[in-house]
Structure 1
Amino acid sequence: MKRVLSIILGGGAGTRLYPLTKYRAKPAVSLAGKYRLIDIPVSNCINSEILKIYVLTQFNSASLNRHIARAYNFSQFSDGFVEVLAAQQTPENPGWFQGTADAVRKYLWMFEAWDVDEYLILSGDHLYRMDYRLFIERHRSTNADMTLSVVPIGEKLASSFGLMKIDSTGRVVDFSEKPKGDALRQMQVDTSTLGLTPEQAREKPYIASMGIYVFKKQVLVDLLKRSMEQTDFGKEIIPNSSKDYNVQAYLFDGYWEDIGTIEAFYDANLALTHQPQPAFSFYHEDAPIYTRSRYLPPSKLLDCHVTESIIGEGCILKNCRVEHSVIGLRQRISSDCVIENSLLMGADYYEPMSESSQHLTRGKIPMGIGEGTILRRAIVDKNARIGRNVKIVNKENIEEAEREDLGFYIRSGIVVVLKNAVIPDGMII
């Protein structure tokens, strides 16, 4: 694995995850109370003994840079590193990244300098645990020019992914990026050849690309230099090269979720609370997910009723009810609150207790959730100040709304309270 260089694509503007990407890059969005999305691919690399890792990013990368600098410091006796490469303008390339392939092309001069055999291209907004060693072994054993990691999927999600057809040897013979209508139906295959049962094959008649690729070094260099106008792997590079190159498919049979939308992000976080065994678990001794060490105190629960929930470090909960929710770092929840089916991201810092009481006396709202507040099906971003007797319940069942002036959005019926928002006492959303 020392002959592999990993390149993690940090994503574009993150419009599908907005407003969580209002102040941060998509890979820096919080996950499971204490992690960030970028921790997933970086941890998979470390657990797979791939220690040369670049992260390409373009938008709001300050918090991502800070997180990576504090979380991933390898020994000076190893050649391991995790380094952020932000989009930059140069005399040769005056524009920003135009797509996934263009992002890699802009830094190709740096990647070429490494004496490696393969480039592993990863996405920064997926939730999964994968041993890339098996993936790369398959790539090498088939002498592939490039290998795509794939999963079988159903009709509902198919048009959101790059779909392919493969032959009996696993070689990709046809590839179509996010097809619709007739083009989508033409990509149906018998997925039982992948080892699925007939019933599973009927439910999932498509083979989807996970957006995870491994390329022979020289193949990727040639492809990116030869066709400068092709800016995206899924839309252009891979479909146009499947005929001339040995493109192989590697079936991944574990849990994998693209959490690039608010709804998918919300569902994936809350699924972590399921019993007895969630589809994805952070409790895996052989392949841990790493993140930044914060040295926070244990959480304190004072006369609370908590069911099927995750409580992050450093929280203080008083006489409240929490059901099927994820509570992030340093979160304060006051008495008589009800938190149901919600994701609270917590806070970046502690507000001194004395300061909180002063805020109350001055009519200001302290950080956290005020007394008597009810939250249902909500995402509360970091450092939000929610007053007393607030009801965030989407009482009119609105699917989409943008009320940035009031500190919230509604996406797929989920109320998203903005980072640093102030929700006054008694407000009903």
Structure 2
Amino acid sequence: MTREDVIAVILGGGRGERLYPLTKDRAKPAVPIAGKFRLIDIPISNCIHAEINRIFVLTQFNSTSLNRHIVRTYHFDMFSNGYIQILAAQQTLESTDWYQGTADAVRQNIRRFLDIGSKYILILSGDQLYRMNYNEMLQKHIDNNAEITVAVLPVDRDQVKELGILKTEYDGRIVEFKEKPQTDEEIASMEIKDGTLEQYGIDSKGRSHVASMGIYIFNSNILKDAIGDKLDFGKHIIPEAIKTRRVYAYYFDGYWRDVGTIRSFYETNLELTKLIPPFDFYDEKQLIYTRPRFLPGSKINSCMVESSILCEGSIMTECIIKNSVIGVRSIINSGAVIENSIIMGADLYDRVKDQCSSATLIGIGRGSIIRNAIIDKNAKIGCNVNIVNEKGLTKFDGDNYSIRDGIVVVHKNAVIPDDTII
């Protein structure tokens, strides 16, 4: 097996409604994570480590910032055959519609993929946080003489109702699929046999089911027939393929998180502030790559900082920061308190010395308090602002901010005037 045998296709996703308002002005894979990265950096970095260097990214909604990030970040050696191509939805003689689902996105570009002549096509999602050796998955696919391989994750029974659940035999062959089973009878019927995980070197730890991770390998010669006129891989293609094709599971037991909702995005980011985080961005052997910005180190002037991530180019003065992620170029002024929050930072610096001489300066103004919130990029928070969800709302949409699951999300480029209470 060589690098020429496989190409990767990263699905850019649809409207990203569950991640709104973070997807109001950007595609899901372009959403920042961990202060300085973007979600698209995760699958691309995994591909680079696996020496899979022919990568396609399928985009549709609000794709400008995603396209710009990829073009600025990833440049392969001109003497190699590597590339990353962005394929936006477009009208053709065969189709005049937007992508109607994950499978439809692949179908509309399938001629381009098959013309390359690779034996295998790796299908990836653009909104997940994990680290995986795709070569190991590909080798299992080959060893099983599989036509399709699905990456699966052991899960507890109480997680089953929110996931696509697969039933496998001892040899890993998938025999049944149910999307988010709800009844006790359905859930019980999808339990894997005792000892299944152990034979793959995985401690079950009481986990009784395996869930699809939305990561697939297809033999190129069956992809077109397998897709047919179906719209979605998880809901349509895999359940149908199980009946007639050799579909196998690749068991994965590392960290994996779908960050497709505001709640999961918020919790995933704050988990990174732990002393020993569940996902390690500090692993030098398997780095996550992103665009180099050539910014100076952060400047911290008489601040109290506890269990937080501070990204480069930030300036913090006489403030308190606890259990938070502070993104690049963040400006946090004196008297500000940031707790359990994500400050995404900025694309540029405002060149005004006094943060409260104007209501339109990027950063966090003096005396402002931000708790349990997400402040999107380039937001301009005035002085003495309280963003604490004072009314305890679960869901709300305003001009400059939204609330999801009780988490206040200040919109990208929003202006919050002095003395505002949210």
Scaled to the shorter chain, the TM-score interval is: over 0.9
Match of 2:421 in 1: 428
Identify if the C-alpha distance between structure 1 residues 105 and 191 changes in structure 2 by more than 3 Å, giving closer, same or farther: farther
State the secondary structure of the residue aligned to 1:222: helix
1:271 aligned partner, one-letter code: E
State the secondary structure of the residue aligned to 2:116: coil
Work out which of the residue numbers 341, 344, 364 in structure 1 matches 2:359: 364
Match of 1:59 in 2: 61
Work out which of the residue numbers 218, 221, 228 in structure 1 matches 2:221: 218
Which consecutive unaligned segments of at least 5 residues does structure 1 have? none
Identify if the C-alpha distance between structure 1 residues 266 and 192 changes in structure 2 by more than 3 Å, giving closer, same or farther: farther
TM superposition shift of 1:188: 2.7
TM superposition shift of 1:259: 0.6
Contact 2:170/2:193 (CA < 8 Å) preserved in 1?
no
Q: How many residues align?
A: 418
Query: What is the TM-score when the length of structure 2 is the normalising length?
Result: 0.96
TM superposition shift of 1:337: 0.7
State the secondary structure of the residue aligned to 1:409: strand
TM superposition shift of 1:83: 1.4
Q: Are residue 204 (structure 1) and residue 194 (structure 2) matched?
A: no
Q: Are residue 183 (structure 1) and residue 186 (structure 2) matched?
A: yes
Contact 1:148/1:249 (CA < 8 Å) preserved in 2?
yes
TM superposition shift of 1:201: 4.6
Distance in 1 (alpha carbons) for counterparts of 2:66 and 2:260:
17
Q: Are residue 390 (structure 1) and residue 385 (structure 2) matched?
A: yes
Contact 1:158/1:206 (CA < 8 Å) preserved in 2?
yes
TM superposition shift of 1:397: 2.1
1:278 aligned partner, one-letter code: P
TM superposition shift of 1:158: 1.6
1:364 aligned partner, one-letter code: A
TM superposition shift of 1:367: 1.0
Within 5 A, what are the aligned runs for 1:248-259? 248-259=248-259
Contact 1:190/1:201 (CA < 8 Å) preserved in 2?
no
Distance in 2 (alpha carbons) for counterparts of 1:428 and 1:202:
46
TM superposition shift of 1:394: 1.3
Q: Are residue 82 (structure 1) and residue 84 (structure 2) matched?
A: yes
1:17-68 deviations in Å (ceiling 9; x for gaps)? 0000000000000010000000000000000110000011110000000000
Q: Percent identity?
A: 51
Distance in 2 (alpha carbons) for counterparts of 1:96 and 1:388:
44
TM superposition shift of 1:152: 1.1
1:125 aligned partner, one-letter code: D
TM superposition shift of 1:191: 5.7
Work out which of the residue numbers 110, 120, 123 in structure 1 matches 2:122: 120
Distance in 2 (alpha carbons) for counterparts of 1:323 and 1:139:
45
RMSD: 1.7
Contact 2:53/2:82 (CA < 8 Å) preserved in 1?
yes
TM superposition shift of 1:2: 2.5
Q: Are residue 298 (structure 1) and residue 297 (structure 2) matched?
A: yes
Contact 1:392/1:428 (CA < 8 Å) preserved in 2?
yes
Distance in 2 (alpha carbons) for counterparts of 1:383 and 1:417:
10
TM superposition shift of 1:350: 1.1
Identify if the C-alpha distance between structure 1 residues 172 and 79 changes in structure 2 by more than 3 Å, giving closer, same or farther: same
Identify if the C-alpha distance between structure 1 residues 59 and 67 changes in structure 2 by more than 3 Å, giving closer, same or farther: same
1:255 aligned partner, one-letter code: Y
Work out which of the residue numbers 397, 410, 413 in structure 2 matches 1:402: 397
Match of 2:262 in 1: 262
TM superposition shift of 1:196: 9.2
TM superposition shift of 1:89: 1.0
TM superposition shift of 1:91: 2.0
TM superposition shift of 1:190: 3.9
Query: What is the TM-score when the length of structure 1 is the normalising length?
Result: 0.94
1:59-97 deviations in Å (ceiling 9; x for gaps)? 000000000000001111011111111111112101111
Q: Are residue 415 (structure 1) and residue 408 (structure 2) matched?
A: yes
1:337 aligned partner, one-letter code: A
Within 5 A, what are the aligned runs for 1:3-402? 3-181=5-183, 182-190=185-193, 192-195=195-198, 201=204, 203-224=206-227, 227-228=228-229, 230-275=230-275, 277-354=276-353, 357=354, 360-361=356-357, 363-402=358-397
Contact 1:68/1:83 (CA < 8 Å) preserved in 2?
no
TM superposition shift of 1:202: 7.1
2:308 aligned partner, one-letter code: S
TM superposition shift of 1:174: 0.7
